[in-house]
Amino acid sequence: MIYHVVTSADWAAHPGRPYAPASLAEDGFVHCAPDEPVTLAVVNAFYRDAPRPLLALLVDEERLTAECVFEAADPAPPPGVADGVRFPHVYGPLDRAAVTRVLEVRWDKDGRAVALADDNGPVPKSDPTVKSAAKKTAAKKSAAKKSAVSASPERRRELLATAADVFAEQGYNATTVRKIADEAGMLAGSLYYHFDSKEAILDEILSAFLDELWEGYDAVLAAGLGPRETIEALVTESFREIDRHRAAVAIYQKESRHLARQPRFSYLAASQEKFEKAWLGTLERGVATEDFRADLDIRLTYRFVRDTVWVAASWYRPGGLHSPEEIARQYLSMVLDGIAVRA
């Protein structure tokens, strides 16, 4: 069950039609709350001056014709609501048959909403057999929609590229599904036909980038090259990945440390450990074979090479004056040979 706040006058208007508040036209969805405490927090934040009586509709989201999606508050939840709370957004009018109860907001002497009380009384509970069947039918429809849309890999790639640009520019926490949808020229609800959540979108962006990166790195490491040639090949492959996945690289640099604490993104820490092992091992091998100086601080050298390569994602733009291979060649010349004229 979800809650929607409405004035008595607005709810009473056009009783024969589905309820469509102004937010549906303005934001593309109907704002709702997940439970009574959050509903009261919303009322106290936004509706204290609204005409009374003020009502809260208790809505069975499974009876809705329109899609209901739980999303993060944009830009932030109201006072008293934790940051992680997700709000139900209904991407279409509210079917009156989905409203199971109409509750009235009760106020204290200071004008704060403190409770929701019965207005028209409870509505009999629905037959659980019917409800279960409806849920199965809805699940089948949802699966059919996703299957139909997923049949267009080109469109999916376009959406992922758009999302990557938004994440890279605004940061993961500041990016909303609505913002991605706006940039893609679609409603936020439509984006859920392609992806289950914002996390799923980011997961696919980062995992695709890392899978391709390691495909290239593994080929280099398995080629049996000498230490210097291995470093040259790893640097060149890195610049190619920046060329192919510039936004994903920028996201990885900004977000990977805190994302890696989440179970869904635990592979980021494993990838970083593997990355470090590959580079440190190659540098150590080069010192041992006297391809590199014996006085090198291996870890400091690794950090310098790593950071100066990947920071290129902040300024590199595909299709520029220099190819990834040319940038890598210039970079390697400076790192391996220095920039001073040799005596």
Six-digit token pair at 104?
A: 């009235």
pTM above 0.85, yes or no: no
Six-digit token pair at 319?
A: 């299709």
Block residue for tokens 């699940």 = 139
The Cα 124–Cα 127 span in angstroms is 9
What's the whole-number average pLDDT of the chain? 85
The Cα 17–Cα 13 span in angstroms is 9
Six-digit token pair at 99?
A: 């409203």
Residue 92 DSSP SS3: coil
**Extents of the domains making up the chain:** 2-126, 198-337
pLDDT above 60 (res 275): yes
Residue 159 DSSP SS3: helix
Paired residues of 56 in beta bridges: 5, 103
First to last CA, the chain: 79
pLDDT in tens, 123-158: 334 444 434 444 444 444 444 444 444 436 888 899
Residue 150 DSSP SS3: helix
Note whether 11 and 70 are within 8 A (CB). no
Please state which CATH number belongs to domain 198-337.
1.10.357.10
Note whether 250 and 264 are within 8 A (CB). no
pLDDT in tens, 59-76: 998 899 888 999 988 778
Tell me how many degrees the CA angle 46-49-52 measures, rounded to the nearest 5.
110
At 284 the pLDDT is 94
pLDDT in tens, 287-332: 999 998 888 899 999 999 898 888 888 787 777 778 889 989 988 8
Backbone region of residue 224 per phi and psi (left: phi > 0; alpha: psi in -120 to 50; beta: other values)? left
Do β-strands 54-59 and 99-107 pair in parallel, antiparallel, or remain unpaired?
A: antiparallel
Distance, C-alpha 109 to centroid of its chain: 42
Paired residues of 324 in beta bridges: none
Instruction: Give CA separation, 161 vs 181, 204, 299, in Å.
Output: 12, 11, 34
Phi, psi of 317 (to 5 degrees): -130, 125
- Which CATH number fits the domain 2-126, given the four candidates 3.20.170.20, 3.90.226.10, 3.20.20.70, 3.30.1330.10? 3.20.170.20
| Region 32-47 average pLDDT | 94
